Amino acid sequence: MRAIDIIEKKRDGLSLSEDEIKWFVDAYVRDEIPDYQAAAFLMAVYLRGMSREETVHLTMAMAHSGDVLDLSGIIDYAVDKHSSGGVGDKTTLVVLPLVAACGVPVAKMSGRGLGFSGGTLDKLESIPGYNVNLTETQFLHNAKDPGIVLAGQTRQLAPADGKLYALRDVTATVSSLPLIASSIMSKKIAAGAQGIVLDVKVGRGAFMTNLEQAKNLAQIMVDIGVDAGRDMVAVISDMNQPLGVAVGNALEMAEAVETLHGGGPKDFREHCLKVAGHMLELAGRGRQWTEGDEVRSLLIDKLENGQALAKFKALVAAQGGDVRVIDDPTLLPQTKIVEAFKSKRDGYLSQVAADDIAWAAFGLGAGREKKGDPIDLAVGLKIYVNVGDRVAAGDTLATIYANDESKLEACRQRLQGAFAYSDTPVEPLPLFYDTLYGKQASV
Ligand code: URA
């Protein structure tokens, strides 16, 4: 087979066979296909799309491009979660220790920032010493003890996604349904957890901007997971405005730690409780999550009695990070400039645009222009308001954390455009829109 023929076929809108997809993925992982051909392939997929069948083949080829872990020999039932990417989405940092504190082992491979959306690995690296590059043996060891592991894809696990993910980030091929579905599900299948909770974001700060697209993405991922023998839940959550207050790597880490200390922004905490509730539900420790039920109280207890925090400390210690940061977040990277951003008028907020806010943070240095670029872990924004809030002229809407004077004006301009006002009351946005289930018969 030749890469050019496969690219041409997809460019012309034809369907690729299982063999063609597998050949392309394997050859790319072995460095027999250069990045420029892989980039052309990605763009062809982006523009032409893929059938459900092709998407399943792509996912399986990526999942099997390296080892596929089997955690069942080590732990009874491991659960995992994944978000399709958003702004201010530091959910993993809270949910993983929270679930592990309930006695359910969690083993997760995460990614770096993609486009304007932040990445858990970058956030973790704001803790000095934290090692995201574990070997497979270390990954398996930590899944058992301390029962929580949070790392990047190892070279052996879903290596195709590691390479393609970085290439998509810099070739404008991120927001494609088959590419997102295969990226997420290949990692999840390779990492070996039996139960998987997906958090599919929808809105202007997500890769899926309308509810129908988000439902399609969620459904295809649930179907792929069930075919691969996993129990699946997918929640569809709002990403029109940032989740929580902080946007930016170290700032988000500080907010996650604050939430693990029992505080944190209300919307973010609620989001974490919902996702963690579904993870417990899959692991059989709970019933379906509903307001006021016993799973929710158990989770709130773990946040308030310090057990979730203790698990987070165990995670950081097991991966070589400086645990002092957890009791003293001022040890996280800090910026030289801290500036308040104030409202110019009175009114009800009708828009707190997650995409504009993400690009404002990106412009300060929080994201990557191209593959492998360094990022400034300290910079970012805190956004104190939500859609529906009533504000007065002069109220502080946000704080800008920057290290470079010359980047401030562009950030202020972006922020200005992020907020829109109405003179009449505006309904707050929901946190969640829908939940999809796909479970094996035994659950
Ligand atoms: N998260 C992933 O792991 N991959 C994507 O493509 C998007 C979000």
SS3 track for the chain: CCHHHHHHHHHCCCCCCHHHHHHHHHHHHCCCCCHHHHHHHHHHHHHHCCCHHHHHHHHHHHHCCCECCCHHHCCCCCEEEEECCCCCCCHHHHHHHHHHHCCCCEEEEECCCECCECCHHHHHCCCCCCCCCCCHHHHHHHHHCCCEEEEECCCCECHHHHHHHHHHHCCCCCCCHHHHHHHHHHHHHHHCCCEEEEEEEECCCCCECCHHHHHHHHHHHHHHHHHCCCEEEEEEEECCCCCCCEECHHHHHHHHHHHHCCCCCHHHHHHHHHHHHHHHHHCCCCCCCCCCCHHHHHHHHHHHCCHHHHHHHHHHHHCCCCCHHHHCHHHCCCCCEEEEEECCCCEEEEEECHHHHHHHHHHHHHCCCCCCCCCCCCCEEEECCCCCCEECCCCEEEEEEECCHHHHHHHHHHHHHHEEEECCCCCCCCCEEEEEEECCCCC
Compute, in angstroms, the gap from residue 84 CA to the centroid of ligand 1: 5
Task: Name the residue of 50, 62, 84 to mutate for ligand 1: max ligand atoms within 8 A of Cβ.
Answer: 84
| Closest alpha carbon to 232 in 54, 336, 82 | 82
| 110 CA closest ligand 1 atom index | 3
- CATH class given for the domain over 79-328+432-437: alpha beta
Centre of ligand 1 to C-alpha 112, Å, is 9
Where do you find CATH 3.40.1030.10 in the chain?
79-328+432-437
Written as six digits, the tokens of 136 are 């497979």
Please name the CATH architecture into which domain 3-49 falls.
Up-down Bundle (1.20)
Ligand 1 surroundings by CB, under 6 angstroms: 84-85, 111, 114, 165, 179-180, 183-184
Closest ligand 1 atom to Cα of 183 = 4
Query: How far is Cα 264 from Cα 246, in angstroms, rounded to an integer?
Result: 10
Q: Whose CA is nearest to atom 5 of ligand 1?
A: 180
Whole-number pLDDT of residue 290 = 54
What digits encode the pLDDT tens for the residues 226-269? 999 899 999 999 999 999 999 999 999 999 999 999 999 999 99
Residue 83 CA to ligand 1 center (angstroms) comes to 8
pLDDT in tens, 161-179: 989 988 998 899 988 999 9
Q: Cα(197) to centroid of ligand 1, in Å?
A: 14
Q: What is the mean pLDDT of the chain?
A: 93
Separation between Cα atoms, residue 197 and residue 188, nearest integer Å: 10
Cis omega (within 30 of 0) on the bond before 333? no
Other beta carbons less than 10 A from residue 345's beta carbon: 12
Give pLDDT, residue 292: 54
Q: Name the segment(s) of the chain with CATH classification 3.90.1170.30.
A: 333-422
* Residue 109: pLDDT over 50: yes
Q: Which residues are catalytic?
A: 82, 161, 168, 183, 187
- In ligand 1, the atom with minimum distance to the C-alpha of 84 is 8
pLDDT at 287 over 60: no
Pick the residue whose CA is nearest to atom 1 on ligand 1.
Answer: 84
Q: Is the pLDDT of residue 307 over 90?
A: yes
Which one of 42, 116, 165 would you pick to mutate in the ligand 1 pocket, going by the greatest count of ligand atoms within 8 A of its CB?
A: 165
Q: Whose CA is nearest to atom 3 of ligand 1?
A: 184
Count CA within 13 A, CB hemisphere, residue 402. 20
393-413 in b/e form (b: 16+ CB < 10 A) is: eeeebbbbbbeeeebeeebee
Write down the pLDDT at residue 443. 43
Nearest residue by C-alpha to atom 8 in ligand 1:
84
Residue 184 alpha carbon, nearest atom of ligand 1: 3
**Residue whose CB lies within 8 A of the most ligand 1 atoms, among 82, 174, 180, for a mutation test:** 180
Supply the pLDDT for residue 36. 97
pLDDT digits (tens, 9 = 90+) for 379-435: 999 999 999 999 999 999 999 999 999 999 999 999 999 999 999 999 999 999 999
- Residue 219 clears pLDDT 50, i.e. is over it: yes
Where, residue-wise, is CATH 1.20.970.10 in the chain? 3-49
Atom of ligand 1 nearest to the CA of 168: 6
CATH of 333-422, one of 3.30.300.30, 3.90.1170.30, 3.40.50.11540, 3.40.50.300: 3.90.1170.30
